Amino acid sequence: MAHVFSVVGLNHGHIYGQVKGLLDTGKWKLKHLFAEEDDLREAFVKRYPDVIVAEHVDQVLEDGEVELIASASINAHRGPLAVQALRAGKHFFVDKPCVTTLEQMEEIKVAVEETGLKWFAFFGEMLTHVGVKWVRQELEKGNLGEPVHFMGLGPHTLRIGGRPDWLFDRALHGGILNDIASHQIAQFCYWMMQDPIPQFSRVGNLHHPQKPEFEDFGDATLMGSKGATGYIRADWFTPEGLPAFGDIRQQLITTDTYIEHRKTIDIGDPDGGRGGKLIVTRMDKGPEVIDLSDTPMTFFDDLTDDVENGTETAIAFDLGYKASKAILEMQRDAVRLGPLEE
């Protein structure tokens, strides 16, 4: 018998990846959709015509058949919705950023502890790339040395005319570090296997004065609880000519190995194209490209197993909680940069 899930909130396109991933397991059935925006709702129904369009979110929350709610609502709404869902007896599967305030994150932690239900943070840049998991497994086996330093870069293409108004409202969006740099802080936690400790951060609107509350650049330095170091950067300056939404990449230095994950594109290789490369250089041999083309991505199957068995194989709550808390602190404490001089 299939598990049943519903969707609440369509404000980021990542929801389509969340829904497809659940359905592709063959173990989930989509029941409801609730979304306030007519255009977003109509587009979703066109793709999934059998979905029941709910008139109110309570129609979803009060349905005893629904086990899990998937959401990519407006950033500031995700935390309160998670608490509502958990208190209503539903697991919650949320796109990043999971919350926009530290208070929201603490309320989720309390709700998870009191209900025993699952809260899955969807850091898609980390969880849907098999190379990320391969590196973690090799680190755990002792094959790559001890982590020393992590650098995560998250540039994005803005295409400002096609973005919704809430993206440029600081209260609704939550800031650049909390939003797109959340992928990088999550991967720091996952690869370094240490709690993140914020050090210094910066955010600013360097070149978009027509959107005064928008942040188009942010970076931060951090440490790990076992002494590792890290640097993360996010920006909205990727040229539209790049055949990917951004040149997303991570670099990992260990005591024995240098690793570079060119995650979305390898622009220096004419044959690299879309999809990127995982490149590993060890003490005893030169750079090698790790071929994981036959390795399946298991995140959604793992999520299903976690719902069924109460395990934490897809993404541990502790990782999502600590990563979200750290990036919120970096966002809150960031030095604000002024515009670039003309």
Q: Which domain holds residue 179?
A: 126-296+329-337
The pLDDT of residue 267 is 85
Are residues 142 and 101 part of one domain? no
> Using one digit for the tens of pLDDT, what is the confidence trace for 71-98?
999 999 999 999 999 999 999 999 999 9
List strand residue ranges (DSSP E) for the chain, in order: 3-10, 28-34, 52-53, 68-72, 91-95, 119-122, 147-155, 196-204, 217-224, 229-235, 249-254, 257-262, 277-282, 285-289, 335-337
pTM above the 0.85 mark?
A: yes
Q: Which of 97, 122, 147 is the last residue of a domain?
A: 122
Mean of pLDDT over the chain: 95
Query: What value does the mean pLDDT take over residues 130-141?
Result: 97
| % the chain with pLDDT above 90 | 92
Judge if 135 and 239 occupy the same domain. Answer: yes
**How confident is the model over 151-193, as pLDDT tens digits?**
999 999 999 989 999 999 999 999 999 999 999 999 999 999 9
* One domain, residues 100 and 138: no
* b/e per residue 134-166 (b: at least 16 CB within 10 A): bbbebbeeeebbebbebbbbbbbebeeeeeeee
Domain count, the chain: 2
Q: What average pLDDT does this structure show over 287-293?
A: 93
Same domain membership, residue 170 and residue 76: no
